[in-house]
């Protein structure tokens, strides 16, 4: 029997899951599902009602989908100018979600110079080959591999999956996480700058990937990742905030938008990709 959550604030499930910032949700008709920590979560939306089914270990949809984030208040706070206000209006209900840390990390390491469909495909392949099998409702689902297991996959196999030069990063980062050089519970307690430095110790994690992982899996809502799309948006719409390098620009964006700068990023990113005509 599906359970129901009455949505008190704007929420657009499709936009949120298909915005291109999360790589382990699957679509099945009107429903979306994900697998983590020994559980399967299915969700679907009808107007202001969110339905869900949970099999295996419990996954809290409110936590995963950040339904508790006070979106009205957040949007009000980040509406610093007409452009971002427009982006918010066009994408009402778009939210940031809370991905599982290790999977999020590996996805964004994989994402360097890659298209979204291929990133998803590689994640799925890794899960199929090396993830735990979950048999639920008569179907087999594959969980994303544990760090320990992923660190043991031969380099050649990773390369053959299409990871190319990123295969090294995936393997070494998996080793580092498996050896507990990174503990998410510790990172969550750190200040933003410190947490970012901690993540950047990992192989294949630079400024952009670190900001993505902080924002999409570690609750740092002030993180403002800058990819090539965002550089274009900044150059065109926020030239006065364009600094000399990544660090400086990203800091200016955080100062400008405030503690929920990550949400501003989400709206600008989506708006830039779908509505802006560069050149």
Partner DNA sequence: CGGCAGGGAGGCC
Partner DNA sequence: GGCCTCCCTGCC
Site residues, DNA (CB under 7 A): 20-21, 111-116, 118, 159-160, 162, 164-165, 169, 200, 202-210, 227-229, 244-245, 247, 269, 273
Taking the complex as a whole, how short is the minimal distance between the CB of residue 108 and DNA, in angstroms? 7
CB nearer DNA, residue 35 or residue 202:
202
Q: What helix, strand, coil percent values describe the chain, rounded to 5?
A: 55, 15, 35
Chain length of the chain: 279
Taking the complex as a whole, how short is the minimal distance between the CB of residue 183 and DNA, in angstroms? 19
The DSSP call for residue 211 is H
Q: Which strands, in side-by-side order, build the sheet including 3-6?
A: 3-6, 49-56, 39-46, 31-36, 26-28
The DSSP call for residue 150 is H
| Angle at 271 (CA atoms; ends 255, 273), nearest 5 degrees | 110
CB nearer DNA, residue 115 or residue 235:
115
CB nearer DNA, residue 82 or residue 228:
228
CB nearer DNA, residue 50 or residue 214:
214
CB nearer DNA, residue 90 or residue 247:
247
Taking the complex as a whole, how short is the minimal distance between the CB of residue 11 and DNA, in angstroms? 20
Taking the complex as a whole, how short is the minimal distance between the CB of residue 233 and DNA, in angstroms? 12
CB 137 within 8 A of CB 164: no
**85-to-71, 100, 137, 273 alpha-carbon distances in Å:** 14, 30, 44, 16
Taking the complex as a whole, how short is the minimal distance between the CB of residue 251 and DNA, in angstroms? 12
């Amino acid at each position: 029997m599906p359970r129901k959550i009455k949505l008190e604030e704007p929420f657009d499930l499709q936009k949120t899951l298909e915005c291109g910032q999360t790589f382990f949700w699957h679509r099945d008709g009107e429903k979306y599902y994900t697998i983590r920590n020994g559980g399967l979560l299915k969700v679907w939306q009808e107007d202001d009602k969110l339905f869900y089914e949970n099999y295996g270990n419990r996954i809290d949809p409110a936590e995963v989908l950040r339904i508790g984030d006070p979106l009205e208040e957040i949007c009000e706070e980040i509406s610093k100018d007409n452009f971002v206000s427009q982006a918010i209006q066009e994408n009402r209900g778009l939210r940031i979600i809370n991905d599982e840390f290790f999977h999020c990390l590996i996805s964004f390491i994989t994402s360097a110079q890659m298209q979204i469909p291929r990133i998803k495909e590689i994640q799925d392949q890794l899960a199929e080959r090396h993830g735990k099998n979950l048999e639920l409702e008569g179907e087999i689902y594959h969980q994303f591999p544990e760090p320990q297991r992923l660190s043991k996959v031969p380099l050649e196999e990773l390369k053959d999956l299409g990871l190319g030069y990123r295969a090294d990063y995936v393997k070494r980062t998996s080793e580092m996480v498996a050896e507990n050089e990174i503990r998410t519970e510790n990172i969550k307690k750190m200040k933003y700058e410190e947490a970012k430095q901690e993540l950047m110790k990992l192989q294949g994690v630079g400024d952009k990937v670190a900001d993505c992982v902080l924002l999409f899996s570690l609750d740092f809502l002030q993180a403002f990742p800058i990819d090539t799309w965002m550089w274009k948006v900044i150059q065109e719409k926020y030239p006065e905030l364009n600094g000399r390098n990544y660090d400086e620009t990203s800091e200016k964006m955080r100062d400008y938008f405030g503690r929920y700068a990550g949400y501003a990023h989400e709206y600008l990113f989506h708006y830039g990709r779908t509505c802006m005509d560069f050149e």
